[in-house]
């Protein structure tokens, strides 16, 4: 009898999954479309307040707190809670900003003194111009810091030819809506999957720049140290370097007050090599992880602590 009941529950769950996914997909599309009718700054403020309220009641809030305690054992409980509130606020703002991606990057090269949401240092501009104009491929990595959707906008807006690795949402209808928004001014999108490494390597061989987020935990990845604890990093970046050696730079978008952002490119991150001179996968991913840790230590309330980072 119990076995029959379990089978019945499983069948009902499987039968209801497409309906639930369709409902979530429809809600996502409606939310994105509706958000575009409202002022982006006011909407970002509202979404930030909503996610701070709702997020503190979700399981991910506990995960984020545990991650922060592990990363910053020296911080008081009050400091941890302040950081965590900022994490939820940042996440809500990203959701609102996503619906307005087609006009968030408003920096005008012809009128650099014109008021803009975006600022960057002369050194970042120098590095960017060199990457754009040298005719060579490069790998550019980012993390879930600030608004991680924005770097692709800047790349395309200022002529940097990019192939961007991204992960599709699990719900097909939501995926189509999100991809339409991302495709506006975000370069060549390469969905994660078995064929992605080949497509990215081909892009590098053609002289394109390849961009990817690299701070996700990956169970079958290579071991690196992050905030003094062992974790697993996705080795795709280092494996691509073994096929096509090229410069590696990091990019981050820091959230500033008054709905503004600062874009920063890192200096070149030199890969590690083994005794034979070949790219060392683990050592190279450790070098990249060290850069990301430095970024997160500066702006811990802007990084996505809400998923397990150490398993």
Domain contains 307: no
A 10 A CB-CB count for 198 gives 11
In this structure, the answer to whether residues 131 and 226 fall within a common structural domain is yes
Domain contains 303: no
Tokens of 255: 């959230």
What's the distance, Cα to Cα, between the start and end of the chain in Å? 37
pLDDT number for residue 310: 82
Coil, helix or strand for 21? Answer: helix
Tell me which H or E stretch contains 98. helix 77-98
For 202, what's the count of Cα atoms within 13 Å in the CB-facing half-sphere? Answer: 7
In this structure, the answer to whether residues 145 and 64 fall within a common structural domain is no
User: Which of 46, 66, 99 represents a domain boundary (last residue)?
Assistant: 99
In this structure, the answer to whether residues 44 and 177 fall within a common structural domain is no
Tell me the three-class secondary structure of 156-215, residue by residue.
HHCCCCEEEEECCCCCHHHHHHHHHHHCCCCCEEEECCCCHHHHHHHHHHCCCEEEEECC
Domain contains 305: no
CA distance 238 to 60: 30
Domain contains 108: no
CA distance 70 to 148: 24
Domain contains 182: yes
In this structure, the answer to whether residues 168 and 265 fall within a common structural domain is yes
Q: What is the mean pLDDT of each run of 10 residues along the chain (311 residues)?
A: 47 40 46 71 92 91 96 97 97 87 81 87 95 96 94 88 78 48 65 91 95 93 96 96 97 96 97 95 98 98 92 70
In this structure, the answer to whether residues 184 and 281 fall within a common structural domain is yes
Domain contains 17: yes
For 66, what's the count of Cα atoms within 13 Å in the CB-facing half-sphere? Answer: 11
In this structure, the answer to whether residues 94 and 130 fall within a common structural domain is no
Domain contains 308: no
In this structure, the answer to whether residues 3 and 53 fall within a common structural domain is yes
What Rg, from alpha-carbon coordinates, does the chain have?
21
pTM, whole model, 2 decimals?
Answer: 0.85
pLDDT number for residue 73: 96
In this structure, the answer to whether residues 231 and 83 fall within a common structural domain is no
Domain contains 209: yes
In this structure, the answer to whether residues 178 and 294 fall within a common structural domain is yes
Domains contained in the chain, number: 2
In this structure, the answer to whether residues 58 and 196 fall within a common structural domain is no
User: Which of 65, 99, 133 represents a domain boundary (last residue)?
Assistant: 99
Domain of residue 4, residue span: 1-99
In this structure, the answer to whether residues 171 and 268 fall within a common structural domain is yes
In this structure, the answer to whether residues 45 and 191 fall within a common structural domain is no
pLDDT number for residue 106: 87
Residue burial 53-71, b: 16+ Cβ < 10 Å; e: rest? eebbeeebbeebbebbeeb
């Amino acid at each position: 009898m119990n076995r029959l009941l379990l089978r019945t529950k499983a069948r009902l769950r499987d039968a209801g999954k497409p309906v639930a996914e369709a409902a979530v997909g429809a809600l996502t599309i409606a939310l994105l479309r509706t958000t575009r009718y409202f002022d982006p700054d006011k909407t970002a403020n509202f979404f930030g307040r909503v996610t701070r309220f709702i997020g503190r009641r979700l399981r991910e809030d506990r995960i984020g707190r545990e991650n922060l305690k592990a990363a910053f054992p020296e911080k008081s409980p009050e400091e941890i809670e302040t950081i965590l509130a900022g994490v939820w606020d940042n996440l809500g703002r990203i959701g609102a900003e996503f619906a307005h991606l087609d006009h968030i990057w408003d920096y005008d090269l012809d009128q650099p003194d014109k008021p803009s949401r975006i600022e960057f240092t002369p050194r970042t501009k120098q590095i960017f111009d060199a990457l754009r104009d040298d005719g060579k491929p490069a790998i550019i990595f980012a993390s879930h810091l600030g608004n991680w959707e924005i770097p692709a906008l800047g790349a395309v807006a200022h002529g940097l030819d990019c192939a961007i690795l991204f992960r599709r949402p699990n719900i097909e209808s939501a995926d189509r809506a999100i991809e339409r928004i991302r495709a506006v001014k975000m370069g060549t999108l390469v969905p994660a999957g078995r064929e992605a490494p080949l497509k990215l390597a081909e892009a590098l061989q053609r002289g394109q720049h390849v961009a990817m987020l690299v701070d996700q935990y990956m169970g079958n990845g290579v071991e690196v140290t992050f905030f003094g604890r062992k974790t697993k990093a996705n080795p795709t970046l280092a494996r691509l370097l073994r096929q096509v050696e090229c410069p590696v730079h990091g990019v981050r978008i820091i959230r500033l007050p008054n709905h503004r952002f600062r874009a920063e490119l890192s200096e070149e991150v030199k890969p590690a090599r083994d005794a034979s001179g070949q790219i060392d996968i683990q050592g190279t991913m450790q070098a990249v992880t060290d850069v990301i840790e430095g970024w997160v230590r500066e702006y811990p309330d802007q990084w996505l602590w809400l998923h397990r980072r150490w398993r």
